[in-house]
Amino acid sequence: MTKIDKKGNFLDLVPERNCQWDKTGDGRVYLLVPRFKNQWMKKIALKLGKSETVKIHFDDRGTAVWELIDGSHTVEQIGKLMEKDKNKDETMDKVYGRLTEFLTILSRNRFIQFKNY
């Protein structure tokens, strides 16, 4: 993972995907997150009929953002592309606030990582 310059602007960072994912039949994204890190726990769980992964499903906005996280768009570019999907009464500040919160959660859980632009 690249060390991020703390003094830089969050909007200049480029998010990259860092986990497996797929789409449902209706086009929504879901992440495939390993259920167990421990090999012996994994073996026990598989014998009990548990799956190896947990699926985390995104809504339409989450799916749209995830598809733009391709290692080439900055956070600012993703925000500008998301502007067309915003509600009439939603300000751009609110769009960027939601976007940065979503990306921060994804980063904290190591589903994405950031690189400097």
Output the domain CATH number for residue 50.
3.90.930.60
Cβ neighbours of residue 63 closer than 8 Å, sequence gap 6 or more: 23, 27, 28, 29
For the segment 32-89, what is each residue's pLDDT rounded down to a tens digit? 998 888 888 888 888 888 888 899 999 999 999 999 999 999 999 999 998 877 666 6
User: Do the domain assignments include residue 79?
Assistant: yes
User: Do the domain assignments include residue 21?
Assistant: yes
Alpha-helical segments (H) within 30-87: 39-47, 60-68, 75-82
pLDDT score at 89: 66
Cβ distance 66 to 21 under 8 Å?
yes
User: Do the domain assignments include residue 107?
Assistant: yes
List the domain range (segments joined by +) for residue 67.
Answer: 12-116
For the segment 91-109, what is each residue's pLDDT rounded down to a tens digit? 778 888 999 999 999 999 9
User: Do the domain assignments include residue 4?
Assistant: no
User: Do the domain assignments include residue 2?
Assistant: no
User: Do the domain assignments include residue 71?
Assistant: yes
Among the listed residues 8, 3, 28, 17, the one whose alpha carbon sits nearest the alpha carbon of residue 107: 17
**Mean of all residue pLDDT scores within the chain:** 88
Among the listed residues 68, 72, 54, 71, the one whose alpha carbon sits nearest the alpha carbon of residue 102: 68
Total of domains in the chain: 1
Rounded to the nearest angstrom, the gap between the alpha carbon of residue 21 and the centroid of all alpha carbons in its chain is 10
